[in-house]
């Protein structure tokens, strides 16, 4: 459920659980043609390659060795009405992107991440509650605001790359999702409503022992460890006025949240030294530490009065030296660096032929 503000209909190819199956037709593209995917001023990207073509593809994250990505897709037209988790090998330039489904096709799934062994992934799923997709909120009831469901049937599971669920990691009555894994592979950082608010928790994957990291009223989610494992970064809302607090609590009582005003926060991995990095207003989200463990990359619509576009920005950890690095006119988000820091992957509405499709793009990173 880190995927927010996406308004497109997702596309899914029929895939095999046994072997990687080829995606929809994808042309072989030369480096010069790849660069045509770039907008003027995007000087940090080179040799850009589009991995998916059509539909809505989101939350693409690297394996620990940088050779694979895990991501989520939905396809109404192909009979897959809500997100499922897929794994694909990072293609060489000009190669086709191949992938397979690793969730079981039941319920709704979200927030995939590789374990360090490269043979398993974690993700949240509602499949134990029902085979079908859980209902979406009627936004008209809430003044047509962007409302996000916190399905209490979400729990976090481990699956192998053949789609077999081998372990259940959470079992609370509340929403458990948005899991990411520490660089040493020993801990899981995730979001839960188990204690009555939307907070961050760190779990020892071997013992199951966990610690609550956040306690301030508001939504805390989309959290990641820094590459060196000493810090965490996430997005948070902090309702302040009496009206904001009431609205937040009323929605939470219905397992809902309106995540349209968020800022980026950091802390030490134990929750100490918590700091607010951004104060821009609107939605500042999908943050991650850059490979140097000091700078931060994130998505934001703070320069827009109408909600769009979302673009990618980098900023120092102390909130200084903000730089806009992408120029899509609708949606760029979910930026993540490869473990060696040489590549960046993100999701975008660029090159979608005027549709609402969101696709996955990978590029070389240029300092």
The count of domains in the chain is 1
Long-range Cβ pairs for the range 3-7 (8 Å, 24+): 3/58, 3/59, 3/72, 3/83, 3/110, 3/334, 4/146, 4/148, 4/259, 4/283, 4/285, 5/146, 5/283, 5/301, 5/307, 5/310, 5/331, 5/333, 6/56, 6/58, 6/331, 6/358, 7/356
Q: Give the pair of three-digit tokens for residue 6.
A: 């996406």
Q: Does residue 1 lie in a domain region?
A: no
The pTM of this model reads: 0.90
pLDDT at residue 32, rounded to an integer:
36
Considering only residues 207 and 17, tell me which one the structure prediction assigns the higher pLDDT. Answer: 207
Exposed, middle or buried: residue 189 (CB in 10 Å: 0-12, 13-18, 19+)?
buried
Bridge partners, residue 362, by sequence: 49, 345
- Give yes or no for residue 296 having a pLDDT over 80: yes
Q: Look at the block and give the residue holding tokens 């508001």.
A: 218
Which residue in 99, 204, 103, 207 sits closest to 160, CA to CA? 103
What does the alpha-carbon distance between residue 323 and residue 313 come to, in Å, rounded to a whole number? 5
- Give yes or no for residue 22 having a pLDDT over 50: no
Exposed, middle or buried: residue 226 (CB in 10 Å: 0-12, 13-18, 19+)?
buried
User: Cβ(74)–Cβ(86) under 8 Å?
Assistant: no
Phi and psi dihedrals of 242, rounded to 5? Answer: -60, -40
pLDDT digits (tens, 9 = 90+) for 201-211: 999 999 999 99
Mean pLDDT for the chain overall: 89
Q: Does residue 109 lie in a domain region?
A: yes
Q: Does residue 8 lie in a domain region?
A: no
- Give yes or no for residue 18 having a pLDDT over 70: no
User: Cβ(266)–Cβ(277) under 8 Å?
Assistant: yes
Q: Does residue 140 lie in a domain region?
A: yes
- The whole-number average pLDDT for the span 105-122 is 97
Confidence of residue 26 (pLDDT cuts 50, 70, 90): very low
Q: Does residue 197 lie in a domain region?
A: yes
Which residue in 61, 48, 51 sits closest to 11, CA to CA? 51
Pairing of strands 199-204, 187-192: antiparallel
Q: Does residue 353 lie in a domain region?
A: yes
Pairing of strands 220-225, 343-348: unpaired
pLDDT at residue 1, rounded to an integer:
54
pLDDT at residue 15, rounded to an integer:
29
- Give yes or no for residue 2 having a pLDDT over 70: no
pLDDT digits (tens, 9 = 90+) for 121-152: 999 999 999 999 999 999 899 988 889 999 99
Q: Does residue 2 lie in a domain region?
A: no
What does the alpha-carbon distance between residue 114 and residue 122 come to, in Å, rounded to a whole number? 6
Helix/strand number for the chain, H first, E second: 2, 27
pLDDT at residue 78, rounded to an integer:
67
pLDDT at residue 330, rounded to an integer:
92
Considering only residues 363 and 74, tell me which one the structure prediction assigns the higher pLDDT. Answer: 363
Q: Does residue 14 lie in a domain region?
A: no
Q: Is 249 helix (H, G, I), strand (E, B) or coil?
A: helix
CATH of the domain at 356: 2.120.10.30
Whether the link from the prior residue into 195 is cis, omega within 30° of 0, is: no
Per-position b or e across 24-50, b if 16+ CB within 10 A of its CB: eebeebeeeebeebbeeebebbebbbb
Phi and psi dihedrals of 253, rounded to 5? Answer: -65, -20
- The whole-number average pLDDT for the span 160-188 is 97
For 331, the domain range is 21-365
User: Cβ(85)–Cβ(109) under 8 Å?
Assistant: yes
- The whole-number average pLDDT for the span 160-174 is 96
pLDDT at residue 233, rounded to an integer:
98
pLDDT digits (tens, 9 = 90+) for 31-89: 334 456 999 999 999 999 999 987 789 999 999 999 999 999 987 776 778 999 999 99
Neighbours of 150 (CB within 10 A): 22
User: Cβ(243)–Cβ(209) under 8 Å?
Assistant: no
- The whole-number average pLDDT for the span 10-32 is 33
């Amino acid at each position: 459920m880190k995927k927010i503000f996406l308004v497109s209909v997702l596309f899914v190819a029929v895939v095999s659980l046994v072997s990687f199956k080829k995606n929809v037709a994808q042309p072989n593209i030369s480096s010069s043609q790849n660069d045509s995917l770039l907008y003027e001023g995007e000087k940090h990207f080179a040799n850009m390659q589009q991995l998916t073509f059509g539909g809505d593809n989101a939350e693409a994250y690297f394996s620990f060795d940088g050779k694979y990505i895990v991501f989520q897709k939905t396809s109404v037209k192909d009979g897959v009405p809500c997100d499922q988790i897929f794994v694909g090998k990072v293609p060489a330039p000009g190669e086709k992107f191949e992938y397979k489904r690793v969730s079981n096709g039941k319920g709704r799934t979200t927030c995939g991440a590789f374990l360090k062994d490269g043979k398993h992934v974690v993700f949240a799923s509602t499949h134990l509650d029902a085979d079908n997709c859980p209902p979406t909120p009627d936004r008209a009831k809430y003044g047509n605001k962007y409302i996000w469901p916190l399905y209490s049937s979400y729990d976090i599971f481990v699956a192998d790359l053949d789609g077999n669920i081998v372990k259940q990691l959470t079992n609370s009555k509340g929403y458990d999702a948005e899991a990411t894994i520490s660089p040493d592979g020993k801990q899981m950082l995730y979001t839960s409503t188990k204690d009555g608010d939307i907070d961050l928790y760190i779990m020892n994957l071997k013992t199951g022992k966990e610690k609550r990291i956040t306690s301030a009223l508001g939504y805390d989610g989309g959290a990641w460890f820094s590459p060196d494992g000493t810090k965490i970064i996430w997005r948070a809302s902090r309702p302040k006025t009496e009206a904001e607090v009431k609205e937040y609590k009323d929605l939470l009582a219905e397992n809902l949240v309106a995540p349209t005003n968020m800022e980026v926060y950091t802390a030490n991995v134990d929750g100490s030294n918590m700091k607010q990095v951004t104060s821009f207003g609107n939605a500042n989200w999908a943050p991650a530490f850059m490979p140097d463990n000091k700078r931060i990359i994130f998505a934001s619509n703070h320069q827009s009065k109408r909600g769009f576009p979302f673009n990618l920005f980098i900023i120092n950890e102390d909130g200084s030296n903000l730089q806009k690095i992408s120029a899509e006119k609708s949606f760029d988000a979910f930026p993540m660096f490869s473990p060696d820091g040489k590549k960046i992957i993100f999701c975008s509405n660029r090159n979608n032929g005027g549709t609402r499709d969101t696709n996955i793009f990978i590029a070389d990173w240029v300092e």
